[in-house]
Amino acid sequence: MGAEGTLDLIWGVSEIAKTIGRTERQTYHMIQSGNLPVVKQVGERYVASRQKLFEFFMEPAA
């Protein structure tokens, strides 16, 4: 993975929450309930792709 892919990553619930405009508690709940499927746990931290999060929130509601 090149530097470009690395810059796309958001590390930790706190940073993911800031990115999606939610509280840490709301974000953690969304992760645990599977509502943020692009999030992976690496060690004890959650990691998300910024691009995939934006794509997820831009999808029309079913």
56: alpha, beta or left, given left = phi > 0 and alpha = psi -120 to 50? alpha
d(CA 54, CA 46): 17
Query: Starting at the edge strand that comes first in sequence, how are the strands of the sheet with 45-49 ordered?
Result: 9-11, 45-49, 40-42
Which tokens is 30 given? 């969304």
d(CA 30, CA 27): 5
State pTM to two decimals.
0.78
The pLDDT of residue 24:
96
The pLDDT of residue 6:
56
Report mean pLDDT in 10-residue bins for the chain, 62 residues.
Answer: 65 94 95 84 90 86 62
